[in-house]
Amino acid sequence: MFKKLLIANRGEIAVRILRACREMRIAGVVVYSDADRASLHVRMADEAYPIGPAPARESYLRIDKVMEIARRAGCDALHPGYGFLAENPELPRACVGAGIAFVGPSAEAMEQLGSKTAARQLAYRAGVPTVPGVREAIPELEASRRIAGDIGYPVLLKAVAGGGGKGMRAVASANELPAAWRDAGSEALNAFGDARLYIEKYLDRPRHIEMQIFGDAHGNVVYLGERECSVQRRHQKVIEETPSPFMTAELRREMGEAAVRLAREAGYSNAGTAEFLVDAERNFYFLEVNTRLQVEHPVTEAVTGLDLVKLQIRVAAGERLPVAQQEIALHGHAMECRIYAEDPENQFFPSPGQIISWRAPQGPGIRLDEGVYSGWTVPGDYDPLLAKLIAWGANRAETLARLRRALEEFEIAGIRTNTALFQRILAEHDFQNGEIHTRWLDERLASFLPARAQGVGAASDPLTTEAAAIAASLWHVCKATSSGEQSPATSRWRHDGRREQLSRTPDR
């Protein structure tokens, strides 16, 4: 087993991996940018090394700096987490050159499956159904016009190196194509350093269901059940659960076996996720493979009893998978909410700043994977994911009840978050009945937000609301002071002190 492992990431996933290392008695080494000097993952690590300025391109995305620190620290393994370099084949290639084990698939498997167009070609060879579209990058706009016309509108532009909804645009007609082509390519270049795009048919209101796969270096590959990821905002997953309320045992087996065929075709080892779109008739179409650990992996851990991070490390060290396909069973139901530092009532703008207080929910069936703490300042330089709140129950109803209760207990002060939005979504009738699809949240979002967030009625500026609340509080204090009123819970000493303070406050 490894003795020292470098985590080439930050935030909650770095903390998650550190905890697995500590349980396995592996020294955990982290890197941090200037903006993350006081981060939780830095405080928890056995060793921490600065990697550069706040911009990711100058720090977390620098393979040369990551490898130099891994060698200097004497690490014999490296875990990429997710995001940043996790799906860049140059990182495992650099690890091989340095004699450091990479906790993930090989560079060759990553190239076959990480590229969306190469993965579509592989799926075609493996006999896995794909969404109608092209299997290669489109060279320029004029070619895209012809291809989109042949496929038939609406179509979806997607980044070849994409993921997480970036570099993706739905196009309803030929008139929309030039602007969508420009915007998708620009976003893909900024996010992945690769502006190439391809086109596939846009499916109307499908479900997004993914299958967790795991392979080892000895040729064993298994699937660990599905995750329902249809609750999305602008192609970004918001809530995930397993099992899917739409799934049947037969569909699970067919999708799982298809995902395993893909992995075998690519010679895949370690954790991966095959993503599918599923229509109302339960026909499924291959979408892509994420060649890394997923953000939503905890729900799979909850129902299988497997620690996927430890399993990743053991497989990277050459061990065989500890379970065969027939031994894998799903127990209960699990659901996850992604807690972001963002303001849903102000166009979901990021909400960096200091966390004044952080009171995490607890109780039966509740798990929190966090990367923050009270007093820490959330930087505005990275993805605003703060934590993942996971609930497990014997069935979906119990899981929903526990998750709603946990969200009510969650107290975060100092920044804006999306916890209130989750409470509204979970209370909605369609969601409770599992009647969702990939456009469901976008179509219903306005009904989950207060009128002021939509520019209706009261002013939409949150500062106006805050100022009104402060003014009302001051009015009550002044009224009580001038009339000589005193709360039974307020001491005479404090009352006189407040009166003296108010008398010295100049008029505004």
- For 404-434, write each residue's pLDDT tens digit: 999 999 999 999 999 999 999 999 999 999 9
Nearest CA-CA partner of 335 in 272, 275, 395, 420: 395
Q: Which residues of the chain, if any, have pLDDT below 70?
A: 451-508
Q: Do 113 and 287 touch, CB atoms closer than 8 A?
A: no
- Please give the Cα distance from 259 to 163 (Å, whole number): 18
SS3 484: coil
pLDDT on residue 117: 82
Enter the DSSP assignment of 451: G
- Strand 197-201 vs strand 155-163: parallel, antiparallel, or unpaired? antiparallel
For residue 375, the model assigns a pLDDT of 97
**CA-to-CA dists, residue 182 to 116, 141, 167, 176, angstroms:** 19, 9, 10, 10
Helical packing angle, 440-448 and 419-426, nearest 10°: 110
| Local structure of 217: helix, strand or coil | coil
All residues at 6 or more sequence positions from 174 whose CB lies less than 8 Å from its CB, including other chains: 145, 148, 149, 153
Identify the pLDDT of residue 133. 86
Element (H, E) at 182: helix 177-192
Nearest C-alpha neighbor of 81 from the set 66, 68, 99, 69: 66
Give me the DSSP letters along 330-377: --SEEEEEEEESEEGGGTTEE--EE--EEE---STTEEEEE---TTPE
Give the integer Cα–Cα distance in Å for 34 and 210: 36
**Spatial distance between the Cα atoms of 287 and 276, rounded to a whole number of angstroms:** 5
Give the C-alpha distances (Å, rounded to integers) separating 504 from 205, 268, 462, 495, 497.
63, 72, 29, 15, 11
Note the pLDDT of residue 451.
64
pLDDT reported for residue 193: 87
Q: Which residue stretches of 47-131 are H helix?
A: 63-73, 90-98, 107-114, 116-126
Please give the Cα distance from 247 to 40 (Å, whole number).
Answer: 38
373-412 CB burial, b ≥16 within 10 A, e <16:
eeebebbebbbbbbbbbbbbbeebebbbebbebbbeebeb
Antiparallel, parallel or unpaired: β 270-278 and 284-290: antiparallel
- The 10s digit of each residue's pLDDT in 20-53 is 999 999 999 999 999 999 999 999 999 999 999 9
Could you identify the residue written with the tokens 């095959």? 274
Task: Output b/e per residue, 440-469; b: 16+ Cβ within 10 A.
Answer: bbeeebeebbeebbeeeeeebeeeeeeeee
Which residues are marked as active site?
Answer: 292
Q: Dump the DSSP string for 22-38.
A: HHTT-EEEEEEEGGGTT
Place of tokens 């992604």: 338
pLDDT recorded at residue 162: 75
The whole-angstrom separation of Cα 380 and Cα 15 is 19
CA distance 143 to 137: 10
Q: Tell me if the pTM is above 0.95.
A: no
